[in-house]
Structure 1
């Protein structure tokens, strides 16, 4: 039974906790987040993240469309306290999902976040979704694989066979249903802002598919982190700007291919390349250098979403 956003509009104005739902169960799976007091079957969490590279990072878009990132190296590392976040387990036309909503300073904007092959419950995806929600967004993270994500314990020789079981048509149908649900629920809450979509790796490739199929113009923008197997044939059908973030040492997401797709889309799209970074560095950093660039990439993404979802949809 899907959760409802009917109380979201009032919570945005009052700062009250959103999602006073009818028939949805709530629970917080094991994570590094500390649960606070809950009420009415609702679990509220406070997102505290020990900064990997907690510098004062800001991303500013210049008049010519370039993105400049400024980093203050003098700021001491400190704990970053995020806004309170609600997390609900929802089911939408048979697709399980997590819905994360900012409790304070909710900006009334929805984001569809598409995971990598390890699925929507993987801690790296969950942590990133929390952080985005901490910035005021309402984030829906669906199970793209219908209970059968790729497992790190499976031999790589089985990967292609597993991937063939993930029917592209079924995934497109699921994302269409998820989008419609978000549109309907936001309309019921009196919110008219358009949506954004973002994804990592497998999900990053599906960002282009979702936007290309968006005949009703529900989405205002997309963000693709090192998307894999992007269908360049449909890129020309995308009618909104897309931010592509990748590393120049990523064998799974070639920069040249991204730039060709960027040109096909147009609409102010942008490719941001991080020198020396490989696949997955933003949501799965493995080195101090990854950490620093992951923070910069997050700042660029946050600036992009603010511009295309909040400023342009006022």
Structure 2
């Protein structure tokens, strides 16, 4: 059996050898591919949460009919420890989150919204995904300059124009190749998945369309914004689109048209009454309930398209 990728979370802050050269891409030291005892202090987090009771989970409207989810009441969702490593790949910072014991040796790249990879909502979601056994890489899409709620809204478009989409695509391609290289070094050949929220959700389609090497098996876009419909036809893998029907930033009509252009098996799941950001930034009990259901849909999708048959 290949060495567990859980140990990729070796950290310079533990007193171990440096994992990376801060001026170029790097290969993790071979010892980083071997299991290590869970003694990394604050860089290890236990994920444990109790889902809200949902005796009557609502059906979800999808592009091909209703999807009924079976959710056990008061289901306890617990995982082993999750390690976090800070890495720097060709000047791009990222967090790498790995599960210690239940690692399924499969990788995901998680693309943040405009508030960046350090934002607590994105990091909490990434931890929870890692709790389900995945190796999750969360890159800094904005090179240290994420949007902030403290900035005047009038500056938003200028800020956004300052982050060239081609540069972002190139950064993600570099990180993807690094992750594939690390997987190969560990003797793991499984493909990757990509997940994105809002701004990152729009970039999911870009990344999959540009994936000429076939690294990705699937993508999940949560209420993606400004999705390029022109390149959607170049996506050859199934994509799951999740959105709310009251979201002004992710129009359902356009989303369903984009879905038709992407790979066979793509699906749109719409949550009634939900607005923008409800999955990773729930603000009401109703948001929280549907966020749980959306997470279950995502988890089942990843299992189907990444774990089965690979």
TM-score bracket, shorter-length normalisation? 0.7 to 0.9
Using the alignment, how far apart are the partners of 1:250 and 1:239 within structure 2? Answer: 27
Partner of 2:241: 244
Check 1:192–1:67 CA distance in 2 against 1; reply closer, same or farther (3 A cut). Answer: farther
1:303 to 297, 300, 303: 300
- Residue 54 of structure 1 and its aligned partner are, at CA, apart by 4.8
Is 1:45 matched up with 2:53? no
The answer (yes or no) to whether the contact 1:83–1:135 under 8 Å persists in 2 is no
Using the alignment, how far apart are the partners of 2:208 and 2:144 within structure 1? Answer: 24
Q: SS state of the match for residue 88, structure 1?
A: strand
Using the alignment, how far apart are the partners of 2:278 and 2:180 within structure 1? Answer: 31
TM-score (norm 2): 0.85
Task: Encode CA deviations 1:197-227: one digit per residue, 9 max, x unaligned.
Answer: 0000000000000000000000000000000
Check 1:154–1:20 CA distance in 2 against 1; reply closer, same or farther (3 A cut). Answer: closer
Partner of 1:142: 139
Task: Encode CA deviations 1:236-261: one digit per residue, 9 max, x unaligned.
Answer: 00000000000000000001111000
1:228-239 alignment runs, 5 A limit: 228-239=225-236
1:87-166 alignment runs, 5 A limit: 87-166=84-163
Partner of 1:84: 81
Partner of 1:185: 182
Q: SS state of the match for residue 293, structure 2?
A: helix
Aligned residues: 283
Check 1:19–1:261 CA distance in 2 against 1; reply closer, same or farther (3 A cut). Answer: same
Q: SS state of the match for residue 284, structure 1?
A: coil
- Residue 55 of structure 1 and its aligned partner are, at CA, apart by 4.5
Please, which runs of 5 or more residues in structure 1 have no aligned partner? 1-7, 26-35
Is 1:286 matched up with 2:283? yes
The answer (yes or no) to whether the contact 2:4–2:105 under 8 Å persists in 1 is no
Using the alignment, how far apart are the partners of 2:309 and 2:229 within structure 1? Answer: 27
Please, which runs of 5 or more residues in structure 2 have no aligned partner? 12-16, 21-36
Using the alignment, how far apart are the partners of 1:92 and 1:138 within structure 2? Answer: 16
1:205 to 202, 206, 212: 202
Check 1:157–1:184 CA distance in 2 against 1; reply closer, same or farther (3 A cut). Answer: same
The answer (yes or no) to whether the contact 1:24–1:88 under 8 Å persists in 2 is no
- Residue 65 of structure 1 and its aligned partner are, at CA, apart by 9.4
Q: SS state of the match for residue 144, structure 1?
A: coil
Using the alignment, how far apart are the partners of 1:114 and 1:240 within structure 2? Answer: 18
Using the alignment, how far apart are the partners of 1:113 and 1:207 within structure 2? Answer: 9
CA RMSD, Structure 1 to Structure 2 (Å): 2.4
- Residue 80 of structure 1 and its aligned partner are, at CA, apart by 4.0
Using the alignment, how far apart are the partners of 1:252 and 1:93 within structure 2? Answer: 32
Partner of 1:3: none
2:264 to 230, 255, 267: 267
1:24 to 19, 32, 35: 19
Q: SS state of the match for residue 3, structure 2?
A: helix
- Residue 267 of structure 1 and its aligned partner are, at CA, apart by 1.2
Using the alignment, how far apart are the partners of 2:120 and 2:67 within structure 1? Answer: 29
The answer (yes or no) to whether the contact 1:37–1:43 under 8 Å persists in 2 is no
TM-score (norm 1): 0.84
The answer (yes or no) to whether the contact 1:24–1:89 under 8 Å persists in 2 is no
Larger mean Cα displacement after TM superposition, 78-87 or 115-124? 78-87
Q: SS state of the match for residue 71, structure 1?
A: coil
